[in-house]
Structure 1
Amino acid sequence: MSAQREFKRITVPDIVRRKGQEKIVCLTAYTAPIAELLDPMVDLLLVGDSVGMVIHGLPSTLGVSVEMMIMHGQAVMRGASRALVVVDLPFGSYERSADQAYDTAVRIMQETGCQAVKLESNPGCARTVEFLTGRGIPVMGHVGLTPQSVNLDGGFKTKGRSAVERARIVKEAEEIANAGAFAVVVEGVFEDVAEEVTRTLSIPTIGIGASSSCDGQILVVDDMLGLFERVPKFVRRYGALREHIEAAVKRYSQDVKGSVFPSSDECYQCESQG
């Protein structure tokens, strides 16, 4: 990997000041090389627990451990010198109590050097956010479709179908904001719900499968680069890396089988002895 570029690191207050102003560009990252490539062009890199599905082939995010988040968080911090880096608190590591969330967040921040953590909305979420932010831990919230609730919801389903559900999403977002979160991810909701959340909150909203009215957008980087055949409705493919990789590996396989790789130019030649 090339020498790391020197940039002034984007801070939590920088992100907060973007509310209603310049859009916030966010992507997930899980490795140092990808973080280095994305870093000059994005404002926020999320080391999401989606790493379990994207990198480790798990069926959901529920099998992701704190150790996995730390390992990938460390890698991303090695590659990024400009973007604000946020690391997810994985399932089971923060829901029991504010004390548990604090212990997990402190460990992740100390061992990775990240600037903030993210947690998904749950019944005690606002109290937890207040507890963490009151002790110097910046927190990003997450409302709407929350992947860690996949078993309770019976799958990854769009949220905001009923008036009751819409009101609950807005209320959860307000409570998280009032508790001290610096931003809220709004995922998998109907467009008008995302618009209402964005209008209501004084902190930035980061949409994914939500609305262009959100203060910023985030996508799973592997989705937007076209590394998977299945593409969710809310993803726009900005690349076709799967096809490029398949074509490259096919050429490599053919060259190896045809004994045309490596060529003499790609081999080390013993210098003649004088």
Structure 2
Amino acid sequence: MYADRPARKAWTVPMLADARREGRKLVMLTAYDASFARALDDNGVDLILVGDSLGMVVQGHQSTLPVSVDDIVYHTACAARGVSTALLVADLPFQADASPERALDAAVRCLQAGAGMVKLEGAGFKLDVIRFLVEREIPVCAHLGLTPQSVLRLGGYKVQGRDERAAATLRDDAVAVAEAGASLLVLECVPSPLAAAITAASSIPTIGIGAGAQCDGQVLVLHDLLGINSGHRRPKFVKDFLADGGSIAAAVAAFAEAVRDGSFPDAEHSYG
């Protein structure tokens, strides 16, 4: 088990670019409290995301939209108490990044609670938000493809970038968020060939979730990885790493190993 291996250095934002240059896959999972954050930290996870997914898997909502900044700050503080080496990333919830000033206020609270980076969805006017935050020394992870906070406009949780026009927009947006100063990019529910092309052309590391194996790393929602029924439809890209028995620690370690050796995601858990 990873906890029995030599101690790791604590992750920093510059180390993400180092990992990409060295061809080391990044392993990311969500956590919302100290105990699970510690289990992830002890078993090979490089980045822990306090995601607004907590609205669905912890609070029982039908989407992430009801999640507040207070919710994210509370859960970030909880998770931070269980982290010693992983880089803790906090989501900016729905409309917390509607303006640069609102985003700054929310981001400062997240960093003061223990996060080392914030994540926000989309491009467009969000490019100004990214620049504003980065100029004020706040590391940013961008998020493109299926952006769950856009569920009402999208009409559901659907694969993005299927046609050439949509694919071109995603490619352009990926370049734009990096140029705006983002240090990391999550690609969600994107066809594998498109995600591979974006990753190859990107100047920053990419983290896939339903975006194929060619991204620089992978992320899953912890509850999905453990096969916990949250009352929502199970996406194609989800794999239950606890299904074969064992422990939570072993399931987390198995995910980390599968990401690093390239066996996850396979074609069964990707979109063509």
- Work out the CA distance in 2 between the residues paired with 1:187 and 1:232: 11
Structure 1 residues 240 and 104, CA, compared in 2 at 3 Å: closer, same or farther? same
Runs of 4+ in 1 over 4 A off after TM superposition: none
Offset of residue 192 of structure 1: 1.1
Offset at 1:240? Answer: 3.5
Does the residue aligned with 2:60 lie in a helix, a strand or coil? coil
The structure whose Rg is larger is 1
> Helix, strand or coil for the counterpart of 1:109?
helix
How many percent of aligned residue pairs carry the same amino acid? Answer: 46
Q: Which has the higher contact order (CA 8 A, sep 6+)?
A: 2
Q: Tell me the distance in 2 between the aligned counterparts of 1:69 and 1:122.
A: 21
Match of 2:256 in 1: none
Aligned to 1:156: 157
Q: Deviations over 1:49-99 (max 9, x none)?
A: 00000000000000000000011101110011110000000001112x212
**Residues 227 and 240, structure 1, Cα contact 8 Å, conserved in 2:** no
Q: Is the 8 A contact 1:7 1:81 kept in 2?
A: no
Q: Show the counterpart of 1:52.
A: 55
TM-score (norm 1): 0.83
- Counterpart of 2:52 in structure 1: which amino acid? D
Aligned residue number for residue 252 of structure 1? none
| Structure 1 position 231, deviation (Å) | 2.6
Equivalent residues, number: 239
Cα separation, 2, equivalents of 1:61 and 1:150? 9
1:132 deviates by: 0.6
**Deviation of 1:15 (Å):** 1.1
Q: Does 1:43 align with 2:46?
A: yes
CA displacement, residues 79-120 of structure 1 (integer Å, 9 cap, x when unaligned): 11110000000001112x21221111112211x121010000
Q: Distance in 2 between matches of 1:87 and 1:241?
A: 31
Whole-angstrom distance in 1 between the partners of 2:7 and 2:46: 15
Give the Cα separation in 2 of the matches to 1:48 and 1:150. Answer: 16
> Secondary structure in 1 aligned to 2:143?
strand
**In 2, Cα distance between equivalents of 1:24 and 1:52:** 25
Unmatched runs of 5 consecutive residues or more in structure 1? 245-274
Query: For the Cα contact (< 8 Å) 1:129–1:181, is it kept in 2?
Result: yes
Unpaired segments ≥5 residues, structure 2 = 1-5, 248-272
Query: Where in structure 2 are the equivalents of 1:78-97 lying within 5 Å?
Result: 78-95=81-98, 97=99
1:217 match: secondary structure: strand
Partner-residue secondary structure (3-state), 1:19: helix
Equivalent position amino acid for 1:172 in 2:
D
- RMSD of the TM alignment (CA)? 2.1
Call closer, same or farther: CA 1:67–1:6 in 2, change over 3 Å.
farther
| Corresponding position of 1:118 | 119
Counterpart residue identity of residue 194, structure 1: A
Q: Is the 8 A contact 1:49 1:64 kept in 2?
A: yes
Q: How does 1:64-103 map to 2 (within 5 A)?
A: 64-95=67-98, 97-103=99-105
Matched, 1:30 2:32: yes
The residue aligned with 2:250 is: none
Equivalence map 1:73-222=2 (5 Å):
73-95=76-98, 97-110=99-112, 112-222=113-223
TM-score norm. by structure 2 comes to 0.84
